[in-house]
Amino acid sequence: MMLQAGRERFTFILIVVAFVGLLFGSWRVMVVQSDFLQSEGDKRQIRHITLPAARGAILDRRGNVLAMSTPMISVAIDAKFLNDKPDHQTSLASALNMPIDVLNEKIRTNAEKRFVYLKRGLAPQEAQLIERLLLPGVHLVPEFKRFYPSGEIMAHLVGFTNIDDQGIEGIELSYNDWLKGVPGLRKVLRDNLGRVIETVDEIRPAYEGRFLRLSVDRDLQFFAYRALKKAMIEHQAKAAGLVLLDVHTGEVLAMVSQPGFNPNDRSLVTANQTRNRVVTDVFEPGSTIKPIVMAGALELGKIKPDTIIDTGDGKYLSNEKVVRDSHGYGQLDLAGILRKSSNIGMVKLVETMTKEEVWRFLHYVGLGQETGIVFPGELTGRLRDPYEWYPVNKTTAAYGYGYNLSLLQLARAFLVLANDGKVVPISLMALDEPPKETRVFRPEVSRLVLRMMEEVTSTAGTGRKAAIAGYRVSGKTGTTRKANKGYDSDKYRALFVGIAPASAPRFAMVVTVEEPTRGQYYGGDVAAPIFREVMEETLRLMTVPPDDVSR
């Protein structure tokens, strides 16, 4: 009996001890270790996820979309988890249409990483195939991808973003801080497959980036692109550029550069293709600058509107520099100097001016200065201070050599003549109010030079191929040799600057074609026809009434 009672007592004690141990363990878990275990559980289940924010849209002046962000899905993996799970790898590779050896290599090289992007930018319907697999260690990350509806037509101006939706060229780069959104933050609960099953807290909402309304017109940009592309093929040229400006506001209505590229598929794009040559390339303007220099001489009273200059037999020595014309033009009035593009006439004209006076007007119209458009890669060119000029520099300045500028700077210079002698700031943004202006030339001087420039597009002028039926057009041709340790004898740049209608200027355009190789290379033959084609469409689209003229 005593033995039996001892066993029962011992059993009872064991039960009590076990029960007390169980109670102590429960108390320890529920009270002492509660915060620690809750924290460890949250680390495995509760996550903070970033909510992507769309970039702001880029629009043209009429509200047409030039760049927009579309929702996409990227696939990320826990490489450490998937490293020893060949079945999961096979299923994932099949769903992504990815070679299994490529996937294996990706996992193997990132074997210790818990988050690795596997494929970016899947359409939502493609991502659904991955989601249905319910594979642990595979995550679908919502993102946005930039899309450019106009493709190559707007590529050099709008630019593009990288895979992380950050601007790296063009407007996308220069206004990246304005366009990019503010990502949100959310606390969520995930299941053991990594899927979000509940939102715990919305810490911060995502804010979409702000939109931009550019000054460009999508239709005018298309006309310019089409004409430039056609000319590139016709003349087998190395490059080309065009810029079209609103005379009164300084807004850029079209800006095209060639060769081009497709911003929606940059797999084969080179750095040479992405360069916006309108602002990044500088060159000597040649004869296109002659109206500006002539206006400066008229403004100073160094010459009169009825001045006659003897250009002789086509050869003239100035400051030990032999200046030549293509023919001996003899006696020429000012309009004749522009019409025939006489270098000798211009040199004799600047001989009435000091080098400081020549420099002053080139500087006043913006040479050697930023245009103010805030565009990546823009070059200001070079216009040396007059105290650095040798006597021959004044001679060559008369016909556009010894300094350089960009195509946009050349267009800005001619806005001054087109806008009654006033400088207008250039803008890539659509303006709601007219900009402030500063005067360079008297209105009567600008109007006189514009009238003389009309003779350039007459049947007797070098720019007759720029003439537009029913409209008065002022213009100036230019053909410059390219500099390369001296001047190449067989590499040219064809240029044309034009303003229309000359009776009441609305638009100014500059066209360049670099190294045409099909025989023709003069600005009047290569660049002037491009001007005519684009300006005709511009006048039609903007419903500008024709002049009371017949051509």
Sign of the Cα pseudo-torsion (248, 254, 256, 261, in order): positive
Report residue 289 as tokens: 């600058």
Question: Do 130 and 75 form a contact (C-beta atoms < 8 A)?
Answer: yes
Cα–Cα distance, 308 to 496 (Å, whole number): 26
Cα–Cα distance, 225 to 216 (Å, whole number): 13
Cα–Cα distance, 269 to 169 (Å, whole number): 13
Sign of the Cα pseudo-torsion (525, 416, 449, 358, in order): negative
Question: Do 264 and 148 form a contact (C-beta atoms < 8 A)?
Answer: yes
* Burial of 142: CB neighbours in 10 Å, binned 0-12, 13-18, 19+: middle
Long-range contacts of 478-484 (CB under 8 A, 24+ apart): 478/285, 478/286, 478/287, 478/288, 478/289, 478/400, 478/523, 479/286, 479/287, 479/521, 479/522, 479/523, 480/283, 480/284, 480/285, 480/286, 480/287, 480/400, 480/401, 482/283, 482/514, 482/515, 483/284
Among 314, 309, 308, 350, CA closest to 329: 314
DSSP conformation class of 8: H
* Contact residues for 532 (Cβ-Cβ < 8 A; gap 6+): 465, 466, 467, 468
Question: Do 212 and 58 form a contact (C-beta atoms < 8 A)?
Answer: yes
Cα–Cα distance, 305 to 337 (Å, whole number): 12
In 132-215, which residue ranges form alpha helices assigned H by DSSP?
155-158, 170-174, 176-179
Which amino acid makes up residue 43? K
Annotated catalytic residue 458: no
Cα–Cα distance, 260 to 75 (Å, whole number): 32
* Contact residues for 440 (Cβ-Cβ < 8 A; gap 6+): 299, 361, 364, 365, 416, 421, 422, 423
Cis peptide before 505 (omega within 30 of 0): no
Report residue 68 as tokens: 């927009």
Report residue 385 as tokens: 């201070």
The active-site residue out of 174, 287, 318, 474 is 287
Among 249, 287, 302, 304, CA closest to 444: 304
Sign of the Cα pseudo-torsion (149, 151, 155, 160, in order): positive
Instruction: List the catalytic residues.
Output: 287
